[in-house]
Structure 1
Amino acid sequence: MTGKMAVGNITLNSAENTPNESSCDVFIYQRAAVVLFPIFYSVVFIVSACGNSLVLYVICQRKQKFNSTSIYLVNLALSDTLFTLALPGRIIYYIRHFDWPFGDLLCRLTTLLFFANTYAGIGFMTCISLDRYLAMVHPQRLPCLRSVKVVRRVSCLVWALVFLEVAPLMFRSMLREHQGRQTCMEYFNFEGSRFTPYLLILACTISFCCPLIIIMACYAKINLKLRAAAKHNSVTSRSKRNHRANTIILLILLTFIICFSPYHLNVMQFMSRKIHHQATCEELRAFKVSSQITVSLMNFNCCLDPIIYFFAIKTYKKRVLSLFKDYLYTSGASTKMTAENSSSNT
């Protein structure tokens, strides 16, 4: 896992790199990047900050006890919120034409938050899928696995594993000089071992392919369960609880495929080719561009997660709709009063 995370950090200035890599300028697309990426990450920052803050506010205000799903979702929201804190620095970095002005320590912290969000998100999405699977397919089997006490321990375990996976990033400089600029968390500053491609492919298999298979299996099992139940009782197929469980898994699966698949598949295909031959300058440039785009998609997951909360927690959905109605009512009343005052003054 650590190796895969560090794939985002391969420098062209390392003495261990091949001549082909050290003489190749992969920043040829930066004119478009310095315009598009600040806009994209500014939108992500606003949506993520508002959406996940609302989630944490509403869930913390609720009077009901936390259940297994809500605990996992709170941890997912915390992960997204921490990631959001790193976005202003990245926005400034792109505006300054890939020049990091905040020093090496903050560059390392930004890198850590980026990848911690990715793999905490994958971990908790997998946990939610398994939780829904146990609730729908095996409601009477191993109920202890869905108890609040156990779920809290599982959440702590996920965070511990994520920390172990990303902690090595804090012990390696993420800052490199390139053409007079200090680049941070770029895609060519980790090369140095002929075993790196093998390690990255293995890491992608464990941290991406395995969770994806688990989530797809949970979705398939729940669907089969609902179809079998519908044959015996048509009312079961229309149950709101069953429909919500199915929707949650589907949303998680779609988010997983849209946000996480492009990045990991891109890394795996590039490393597979690199095992057989040294990458050309054109291939390095293509990998740099595709990596930058797929990382952006991966970071977009923090904007989609609030949608999962909306369908997963009934009280959250009701509270959000209530807040929205109150806002429209207050706004409408204020507009009406302003209009009445204006007419009375004329």
Structure 2
Amino acid sequence: MPLTAQRIQETTEMSTEFPVTTVVAEMDPFTASETNISTCDLYEHKDTARILLSVFYGSILILGVLGNTIALTVIFKNRKKINSTTLYSTNLVFSDLLFCIALPTRIAYYALGFHWPFGEALCRITALLFYINTYAGVNFMTCLSIDRFFAVVHPFRYKIRRIKYAKGICVFVWFLVFSQTFPLLIQSMSQEENERTTCMEYPNFEKIEHLPFILLAACLIGYLIPLGIILFCYSQISCKLFQTAKENPLTEKSGINKKAINTIIFVIIVFIVCFTPYHVAIIQHMIKKLQQEPLCTEKKIFQKSLHYTVFLMNFNCCLDPFIYFFACKGYKRTVLKILRRQVSVSISSAARSHHEESSRDAGETQMTVLAKSSNGKLPEK
């Protein structure tokens, strides 16, 4: 009996231990995934970003305001000589200056470690200004490329470069930009988290239905199509200039042709440097998201890449004044005049300082000699 009782007890213990082990084994994956979700901090780089992004956006604010204010001043002075190129450049100036208005709050947001203390309304307004600058910049750069294309390839065939048509195109572009960005005012942009309130971050948009398709369509309309148009214009202008130079070598010295090629080359550079990294990051992540839900590591990498590629995209408002430099003769002349004036003032100030210093040294020497002669004995008569 004792042996039988011992066997029954061992059997009972084994039977009770096995289900418990099974339950724990079954719960382990759930617990692990739950832990991964809770520990997936997409803002773990906040300490680095707090310094870098604040400095980056502070530089954009200073350079953007300075360059675009000079451009606006030059355009205002030459308003009687305005043409289609100047008109598109003027609209670029306004979009850049609008964006600069929103920068102080963004700088504070990054300095506080991705924390937005200014409320939902201001978050929506800054998001609106941000996207207005992005879409307006892309569209008006495309307009500039098309304008240069007609100036070189079809200078007499079409009347699209007339100022009244250019004004109509600008109105249409702004209507298109506002139709793309106005829904942001009715969309929640901020989100409460454990230790912060984020504003205009990608995770805040994830609740939108069919988000990957919406963002891929935005990349197509807002980046790929304009880039295709710009590259087409550049290739046609290059072919035309090559053909004209072959037929008549003297036309290579034409100011219009040189201005056209410089303008469109710089527009392409701005597109590649500023807009390509951001859109590549969005496209590859959305395609991956359509296939399967990204892992926590992939989400972190994507979030970090967004913060720095968005900075590059916003950097276009500092590069736009260089487009005016190549496209608008008045702007180039004024900037060069300011630089020459600054150099001449610096040189004259240095020369004046040197002259005053020399005069002061000579005066001090003379005073020393007089002092010594007065302290000494005067010769008797």
Q: Provide the TM-score with structure 2 as the length reference.
A: 0.82
**Contact 2:263-2:326 at 8 Å conserved across structures:** yes
Aligned partners of 1:126 and 1:107: how far apart in 2? 29
Question: Deviation of residue 341 (structure 1)?
Answer: 3.8
Number of residue pairs aligned between Structure 1 and Structure 2 = 328
Are 1:166 and 2:184 counterparts?
no
One of 311, 323, 327 as aligned partner of 2:338: 323
One of 238, 248, 254 as aligned partner of 1:239: 254
Equivalence for 1:155: 170
Are 1:95 and 2:114 counterparts?
no
297-306 or 55-64, which moves further after superposition? Answer: 55-64
Equivalence for 2:52: 36
One of 267, 270, 273 as aligned partner of 1:258: 273
Give runs of ≥4 in structure 1 deviating > 4 Å. Answer: 18-23
Equivalence for 1:141: 157
Aligned partners of 1:164 and 1:104: how far apart in 2? 21
Unaligned residue ranges in structure 1 (runs of 5+): 1-17
Q: Describe the SS at the equivalent of 1:141.
A: coil
Q: Describe the SS at the equivalent of 2:43.
A: coil
Q: Deviations over 1:285-329 (max 9, x none)?
A: 111011111101100101111111111111211111112212222
Question: Deviation of residue 152 (structure 1)?
Answer: 1.0
Question: Deviation of residue 48 (structure 1)?
Answer: 0.6
Equivalence for 1:282: 297
Question: Deviation of residue 24 (structure 1)?
Answer: 2.4
Are 1:128 and 2:128 counterparts?
no
Equivalence for 2:16: none
Q: Deviations over 1:49-99 (max 9, x none)?
A: 110111001111126420000000010011111111111111111111111
Q: Describe the SS at the equivalent of 1:26.
A: coil
Aligned partners of 1:24 and 1:290: how far apart in 2? 16
**Contact 2:98-2:129 at 8 Å conserved across structures:** yes
Question: Deviation of residue 150 (structure 1)?
Answer: 1.2
One of 68, 85, 93 as aligned partner of 1:77: 93
> Map of 1:213-228 to 2, 5 A cutoff?
213-228=228-243
Equivalence for 2:62: 46
Q: Which amino acid aligns with 2:52?
A: L
Equivalence for 1:249: 264
95-104 or 204-213, which moves further after superposition? Answer: 95-104
Are 1:110 and 2:126 counterparts?
yes
Larger RCO: Structure 1 or Structure 2 (Cα < 8 Å, ≥ 6 residues apart)? 1
Structure number with bigger Rg: 2
Q: Describe the SS at the equivalent of 1:183.
A: strand
The structure where helix makes up a greater share of residues is 2
**Contact 2:152-2:256 at 8 Å conserved across structures:** no
Q: Which amino acid aligns with 2:345?
A: T
Unaligned residue ranges in structure 2 (runs of 5+): 1-32, 365-381
22-31 or 288-297, which moves further after superposition? Answer: 22-31
Identity %: 44
Equivalence for 1:67: 83
Aligned partners of 1:233 and 1:148: how far apart in 2? 30
Question: Deviation of residue 178 (structure 1)?
Answer: 1.7
